[in-house]
Amino acid sequence: MENILEIKNLSTYFYLENSIVKAVEGISFNLRKGEVLGLVGESGCGKSVTAYSIINLIDKPGKVGKGEVIFDKKDLLKINQNQLRNIRGKDISLIFQEPHAALNPVYTVGFQIAETVKAHNKNIHKKDLKKRVEELLLKVGLSPNKKNSYPHNLSGGEAQRVMIAQSLSCNPKILIADEPTTALDVTVQAKIIKLFKKLQKEENFSLIFITHDLALCSQIADRVAVMYAGQLVELASLAKIIKEPLHPYTQALFGSLPQKERRKERLAAVGGDVPDPDRKPKGCFFGPRCKIKEKDCLDKQPKLEEVKEGHWVRCFKRGDRG
Amino acid sequence: MEKILEVKNLKKYYPVQKGIFSKTSDSVKAVDGVSFSVQSGKTLGLVGESGCGKSTLARAVLRLIEPDLGFIFFKNKDITKLSYKEMKNIRRNFQIIFQDPFGSLDPRFTVFAIISEGLINFSANTKKEVIYEKTVKAVEDVGLSKDILNRYPHEFSGGQRQRISIARALVFSPKLLILDEPVSSLDVSIQAQIINLLINLQKEKGLSYVFIAHDLSVVRHICDQVCVMKSGKIVERGETSQIFANPTNSYTQRLLNSIPQINLHSTS
């Protein structure tokens, strides 16, 4: 399948007064046309920073360092702000986690949706604009009358639908959804996931779905990328990740999920904590918590390698076996 | 089996005031006639979406919020009408653990001060050595080392803080713990550690839990009985296995259908 976005060795560091926080360290993956890529990891592993780095939304003291983000034959990290602005919101758009924090409380939602449309179609007629806004609201399952509501009139689920309408307003080729359902209740979450699936079929955009919830990811993703401490540790199709996760961290994540058949039993938890971003271990980042580690793991950094077709793992022990 | 806690027809309404004279025009029925009981040594799950009254119920049961109506029996003793003093004596038997371990620990207290504060409060004449011993015991029970006692909450991660909260509750050797979303602010791998800890503590000490959560897969894992709450009322109750296998209430069904499951069939 054709790649629509190629990310090569992306690194984003935050330069603090007395330390450098390496939030994202050398991430590489491709996004294929029309696929849903789930980006999974625990808090602080660099999922969101990766998403923001793709469209260079990192503010000081952070900086996207080396690396390339190739979209439409252009490197998004090299082009200037004006060109970038034409791509943001149009070709690549982003949905944030907290819909109420992302919407402006003093404008109606209709105005905010129209704003994006106008920004990319300068000469659009007023009537067309109004039609487009209503059409977008309908598409995300809201009544067109909602365009006159203010964000505080909306429930969390409705606000998230407005965010989705806004991000879809210019028919993006790539949609990046950063934990779009984390702030919502499960029943609402289920509806939003259903909406994402429907829209993805209709609009055929590529979706990067960021979440910390593996089970949720398995509902929507075609491929899954697992992140740990700023690195990609495993990347494979959903079926492969579920059936035979190769990285010990991915295995541990699955072990941590309560299962139907094993009530009241101990969960296979990983000991220890995620390393501090400015005090990462010397060797494999997961090394100190790993159950199958060897001496080498604590000294040297494993590389992300393709062990089987389409199955990438960053681990010495697994790499040798595969 | 012995009932450790029984709640009958508990109600807590909050008035909605309007106009310049703050006339009470309506009320929010946060908890609206709830009855349940917890068996000794078992775990009761309280499930529901945000705003359904779970946390108000938890606090009302401990009389941290005064309920408007209803009865609370602790070991068959009615505690609803007890005076502040009488209540204080009985409080050591039940403890609450809050959701947010960042908000519930005083940042200016050392871990030792946090955990021992209650001990000093409840028994002013206890010797210092005894307090120290009990504190160390509580800290070790939750899987932390006693070296942390002189450190401050900000030095710990979310999981460790939640362990400190649990230690603070355990220091009285309570009979009943009310856990108000104890793992929902934690990452999955840390969440698993805390769940294991809770299961172990229950086995070792015979604790009873009221486990409040919105994450149904965690509830299924840890609870013996489940009550499903909606808008201040319990809409369904029963044994965990039965509720998850055959939910009868339409809301419960909808809730259960919404849990994301790892589904292999959809991928092939």
* Percent of chain B scoring above 90 in pLDDT: 15
Question: What is the residue type of B220?
Answer: R
- For the residues of A172-215, what is the DSSP string, one character each? -SEEEEESTTTTS-HHHHHHHHHHHHHHHHHH--EEEEEES-HH
Q: What is the pLDDT of residue A322?
A: 44
Q: What is the pLDDT of residue B268?
A: 40
Choose the mutation target among A35, A37, A187, A209 for the interface with B, i.e. most B CBs under 10 Å. Answer: A187
Q: What is the pLDDT of residue A320?
A: 53
Partners of A239 on chain B (C-beta within 8 Å) are 264, 267-268
Mean pLDDT of the B194-199 span: 89
User: Could you give the CA distance from residue B247 to residue B229 in angstroms, rounded to a whole number?
Assistant: 13
> Which residue in this structure is represented by tokens 């021992």?
B116
User: Could you give the CA distance from residue A101 to residue A75 in angstroms, rounded to a whole number?
Assistant: 30
Interface of A with B in 273-302 (CB under 8 A): 273-274
Q: What is the pLDDT of residue A237?
A: 92
Q: Which domains does chain A have, with CATH numbers?
A: 3-221 (3.40.50.300), 248-322 (no CATH)
Q: What is the pLDDT of residue B94?
A: 87
Q: What is the pLDDT of residue A198?
A: 92
Q: What is the pLDDT of residue B263?
A: 62
Interface ipTM: 0.77
B212-248 pLDDT tens trace: 988 888 888 889 999 999 888 899 999 988 888 888 9
**B108 Cβ partners below 8 Å, 6+ apart?**
B152
User: Could you give the CA distance from residue A110 to residue A90 in angstroms, rounded to a whole number?
Assistant: 18
Q: What is the pLDDT of residue A321?
A: 55
Look at B24 and B242; give whichever has higher pLDDT.
Answer: B242
Q: What is the pLDDT of residue A236?
A: 92
Q: Which residues lie across from A312 on neighbouring strands?
A: A235, A306
Q: Is A255 on the interface with B (CB under 8 A)?
A: yes
Q: What is the pLDDT of residue A266?
A: 78
Q: What is the pLDDT of residue B267?
A: 43
B59-89 pLDDT tens trace: 898 888 888 889 999 888 888 888 888 888 8
User: Could you give the CA distance from residue A136 to residue A151 in angstroms, rounded to a whole number?
Assistant: 16
Q: What is the pLDDT of residue A150?
A: 92
Question: What is the residue type of A221?
Answer: A
Look at B133 and B23; give whichever has higher pLDDT.
Answer: B133
CB–CB of B157 and A255 under 8 A? no
Nearest chain B alpha carbon to A43: B187
pLDDT-flagged residues of chain A (< 50): 322
Closest to A289 in 3D by CA, of B159, B67, B252, B267: B159
* Environment class of B1 (CB within 10 Å of its CB; exposed 0-12, middle 13-18, buried 19+): exposed
A96-110 pLDDT tens trace: 888 888 899 999 999
Are residues B198 and B179 in contact, defined by beta-carbon separation less than 8 angstroms?
Answer: yes
